Amino acid sequence: MRIDLLSIFPDYFAPLEVSLLGKAGEHGLVDLRIHDLREWTHDRHRSVDDTPYGGGAGMVMMPSVWGEAIDEVFEETGTGGQSDRRVLAIPTPSGVPLTQSMAQDLTNATQLVIACGRYEGIDQRVAEHYREAGFEVLEYSIGDYVLNGGEVAAMVLTEAVARLLDGFMGNPDSLVEESHSGAGLLEYPVFTKPREFRSLEIPGVLLGGNHAAIERWRRDRAIEKTARVRPDLALSLDASSLTREDRAMLARCGVAYPR
């Protein structure tokens, strides 16, 4: 998958070169390209923003410079044949909340271009234009708070998608029982050595070697935590995936899933 990151602060993306994502680049799983938006400016000051129509505080990023930049990075990957899925992702606090299923869905994109806004954001006609031109445009938010720029949100999307690509994880089983994976539950608590840490012991069931009991204990803790921390998720589980024991545990946590 090719991922293009466009920003006026390209140095921001240095952390993407390290860790697992750096390895994914080396192995050719992700072709990561970082671009300085100012390369597409034409004036002496390399301007990318102007005052907002209608008045108000702050500056807005100009559609002309974004249009030239995005056209060029999309063109670099060819004609966009039928099998190509090319997505323009625009981080914005007014976008749809980014979820694991959106990240999973994007793993089959051919090219993901992420346009990082600054100031008051990018002129809305950029999203409109590419949508009308037949591109998939995703305006997404990484949470209900406001950051100074889209770079962190771009790194979030890049990592969320890349780690789900086939061959990315050394052990793909790591992805199976994660929070926000298929079951819709948050993950159960995890423990490692030593057996005692500052007088806190490992839950006894994890030491007994009874796999069925361990599985049940983990599932109950996952249900308990989801109900406590994210009642919205606990209320929207796939009812057909719930066993009698799951429903009983949910009921104990105050979430009703009658048969």
List of residues contacting ligand SAM (CB under 6 A):
91-94, 116-118, 120-121, 141-143, 145-150, 153
Smallest gap, in angstroms, from Cβ of residue 108 to ligand SAM? 23
Sign of CA dihedral 94, 96, 102, 106: negative
Our CB check for ligand SAM shows the closer of 100 and 110 to be 100
Name every residue whose Cβ is closer than 8 Å to that of residue 223 and which is 6 or more positions away in sequence. Answer: 185, 234, 246, 249, 250, 253
Our CB check for ligand SAM shows the closer of 96 and 235 to be 96
Smallest gap, in angstroms, from Cβ of residue 154 to ligand SAM? 8
Our CB check for ligand SAM shows the closer of 24 and 156 to be 156
Smallest gap, in angstroms, from Cβ of residue 30 to ligand SAM? 21
Is residue 77 within 8 A of residue 86, CB to CB? The reply is: yes
Token pair 């390369």 is found at: 39
Our CB check for ligand SAM shows the closer of 117 and 184 to be 117
Smallest gap, in angstroms, from Cβ of residue 5 to ligand SAM? 12
Smallest gap, in angstroms, from Cβ of residue 65 to ligand SAM? 14
The first and second tokens of residue 178, run together, are: 């994660």
Sign of CA dihedral 3, 116, 69, 104: positive
Buried b (16+ CB within 10 A) or exposed e, 145-168: eeeebbbebbbbbbbbbbbbeeeb
Our CB check for ligand SAM shows the closer of 121 and 184 to be 121
Token pair 């799951």 is found at: 246
